[in-house]
Amino acid sequence: MTPKESKKKEKADREFQKKFKFEGSINVLTQMMVDPAVVEKRGGGKDLPVRRGEILDVIQFTNEEQLLCRNSQRR
C-alpha cells in the first residue's frame, strides 16, 4: 500500500467515526455479501446504498434489524 492510499484510508476511517459517533478502533467482525436477488437500494442519510452481490464489512451489530457496515470504498 502506498502512503497516498494509506492516507486516504485513514481519512475515510476518521469520517466514518465522526459521522456515526463511533469511538475506538474500527474492527471488522465479519464480512457479508448482499443478496444477488435483492432490489438495489439508494442510500440516504446514514443508510448505505447497496448493490447486488456487493461485499460489506460488518463493524457492529446495532440491533436485530440493523448492522453498522462499510463497503469497499470505506463508506
Predicted pLDDT of residue 75: 78
SS3 50: strand
Confirm if 69 and 63 have CB atoms less than 8 A apart: no
Euclidean distance between CA atoms 74 and 55, whole angstroms: 11
- Digit-coded pLDDT (tens) for 43-52: 677 777 888 8
Amino acid at 65: E
pTM for the full model?
0.68
User: Residue 3 above 80 pLDDT?
Assistant: yes
Amino acid at 74: R
Extract the C-alpha cell encoding 10. 485513514
**What's the rounded mean pLDDT across residues 6-31?**
83
Which domains occur in the chain, in start order?
3-71 (2.30.30)
- Digit-coded pLDDT (tens) for 21-43: 878 778 888 898 888 887 777 76
